[in-house]
Structure 1
Amino acid sequence: MPQLALKIDVDTYRGTREGVPPLVDLLRKHQAGATFLWSLGPDHTGRAIKRVFRPGFLQKVSRTSVVEHYGIQTLLYGTLLPGPDIARKCAELMRSVRDAGFEVGIHTYDHVRWQDGVAGADATWTRAEMNKAVEAFKSVFGSTPKTHGAAGWQMNNAAYLHEHDLGLCYASDGRGTHPFIPVVNGERVEVPQLPSTLPTLDELIGVDGLTQDNVHEHILELTANPPPHGHVYTLHSELEGMKWMPTFDRLLAGWRAQGYDLVSTETMFKSLDVATLPAHEVKMDSIPGRSGILAVQGRCVEAPVSISA
């Protein structure tokens, strides 16, 4: 049975409190596994206002109502309102998701700070941000994380290397076509990547006649013929867990009808023969429907040198 892994990015305080519980109920309805990746520090969503100067950002905002999905209060966090500490305020809820049988991992510490800063940051800044997320994760779950999925698919070379230092089993930090071993500065980083293989709802709705009511049909066309390693679909608690939940419900039913086993990224990772995964460079590039550049699976590399364990 082909696998389709569900990766849930939880970006905000509101998305944690209001988006996650309905998603848990919907996943249970469809007997689906999933991986919840948490933002674990302060919600500073309001500071994202500076993205207005990024190419393509206003076009995206015009297609998907930011206020509708995130709410006025969230859009003021970190500017006119103090940003609530998500892990401290929502620890019990986060643990309940784990206790319900879903995989949990790290999305980020401060979502806006990482998404807007990591691409140009040095190794010291990068390690410090990742370490803060790890410590917050441990304070909530009492264990070390096994996986990381970068906020906004934003990465730098130091981040891939530090995933190895942190002892992560695997990660899902970028976009691509199939699982691979990342190559950074000519060296293998032995933390396999399971890239997101499908477009997200906010990249599609409002383009070429796609709406909340019919976008699931387009995505199901993309998944009609399963690739050898299946698919990874990224969703957001603020979107599929709230206003766009009916769309996600239809997607889950459609994927079941196509014969997919709906699983966590951990389940997909455990099904792989890691020793046979190809090595690929990682790069920053643009993709249709999303502003700016993000981490993307690059060219295949023959026999790169492995970094020391």
Structure 2
Amino acid sequence: MKIALKVDVDTLRGTLEGVPALLELYQRYGVKATFLFSLGPDHTGRALRRIFRPGFFSKVQRTSVVSHYGLKTLLYGTLLPGPHIGRRAGDIMREVEQAGHEVGIHCHDHIRWQDFVANRNADWTRKEMQTAIDVFQKIFGHQPAVHGAAGWQLNKHALQLEQQLGFRYASDCRGQSPFIPQMDGETFDCPQIPTTLPTLDELLGRNGITEANVHEAVFAASRKPAAAGHVYTLHAELEGMKLLPVMEKLLQLWQQAGDDIGTLADYAEELDTAILPCHELVWGQVEGRSGVLAVQGQKIE
């Protein structure tokens, strides 16, 4: 089975601590991953606006948010000013690419994008994406090839901009297989490579799943048939820190099974975009996660 590793890096702490830990782990196991960076201010504390979203409190209780993110991070953007991640951690980001991993864009301001993009217009969306691209180019010296929307949140303007701004593929949604996206009746050229596997924060604390056995649940999900393979989204703040042992156990299981572990770029190389099916991108719920996300909808004939 092909397994693409997509690392979402949401916070300054995740960049400074989680990313180096994952680099060391991946070097030991000889695997490469795609790292998608939040490049602007860390405003994690503003996520408290979500307190009235159904399922928010249950997720916070299940996943021990404070122990994973740290109190200081949870105050950024409220009682503490939000540090600029790109300026503070550009050297670490460059180390990722120098180690042979793929790098791309998650967002500029994670909380701002995740909480507002669904209802924003083309100008707002372009400003957010272009600002992220500008920081990315300053850090890496080249154009990004991949975009992965923060919180699996987007709008049709983001899809249009992905094709206009030169992204070769994107991983903005949840789904089952790669596809050409259609949203609000418009079809967009930039292929979507959706996350197919559940994330740790969606599994922990549910159905008897704990930190001791959650790797088994993810591995079992990765055994489900998938013609193009699976995409596993992990977080530098979880698998790169307190849950690093879970990531190592997963690597061991996948390698013992003979799976091909790699980047989204590796995954995309084997896709024939000329024959990819077109699917709607719709809003839907994912078990274990609060609110609605962009998900792969029905096939367009």
TM-score (norm 2): 0.98
Which residue number in structure 2 is paired with residue 269 of structure 1?
268
Gap regions ≥5 residues in structure 1: 303-309
Which residue number in structure 2 is paired with residue 244 of structure 1?
243
Counterparts of 1:120 and 1:44, CA distance in 2: 20
Counterparts of 1:26 and 1:274, CA distance in 2: 33
Counterparts of 1:285 and 1:108, CA distance in 2: 21
Which residue number in structure 2 is paired with residue 224 of structure 1?
223
Aligned-residue Cα RMSD (Å) equals 0.9
Deviations 1:166-216 (A, max 9, x none): 011000000000000111333321100000000000000100000000111
Which residue number in structure 2 is paired with residue 64 of structure 1?
63
Which residue number in structure 1 is paired with residue 122 of structure 2?
123
Counterparts of 2:184 and 2:202, CA distance in 1: 31
Counterparts of 1:185 and 1:58, CA distance in 2: 32
Matched residue type, 1:32: V
Counterparts of 1:92 and 1:151, CA distance in 2: 22
Q: Which moved more, 1:120-129 or 1:204-213?
A: 120-129
Gap regions ≥5 residues in structure 2: none
Question: What does 1:136-175 align with in structure 2 at a 5 Å threshold?
Answer: 136-175=135-174
3-state SS, counterpart of residue 55 of structure 1: coil
Matched, 1:37 2:36: yes
Counterparts of 2:218 and 2:85, CA distance in 1: 32
Counterparts of 1:131 and 1:26, CA distance in 2: 32
Q: How far is 1:228 from its partner?
A: 1.1
Q: How far is 1:224 from its partner?
A: 2.4
Q: How far is 1:225 from its partner?
A: 4.5
Counterparts of 1:284 and 1:157, CA distance in 2: 12
Q: How far is 1:226 from its partner?
A: 4.3
Which residue number in structure 1 is paired with residue 14 of structure 2?
15
3-state SS, counterpart of residue 174 of structure 1: coil
Which residue number in structure 1 is paired with residue 204 of structure 2?
205
Contact 1:224–1:258, Cα closer than 8 Å, also in 2: no
Which residue number in structure 2 is paired with residue 296 of structure 1?
295
3-state SS, counterpart of residue 70 of structure 2: helix
In the alignment of these two chains, the number of paired residues is 301
Contact 1:183–1:189, Cα closer than 8 Å, also in 2: yes
Question: What does 1:272-283 align with in structure 2 at a 5 Å threshold?
Answer: 272-283=271-282
Which residue number in structure 2 is paired with residue 52 of structure 1?
51
3-state SS, counterpart of residue 237 of structure 2: coil
Structure 1 stretches of 4+ with a deviation exceeding 3 A read none
Identical residues among aligned pairs (%): 55
Counterparts of 2:156 and 2:226, CA distance in 1: 28
Matched residue type, 1:161: Q
Deviations 1:32-68 (A, max 9, x none): 1100000000000111111111110001001011110
Contact 2:183–2:282, Cα closer than 8 Å, also in 1: no
Matched, 1:83 2:86: no
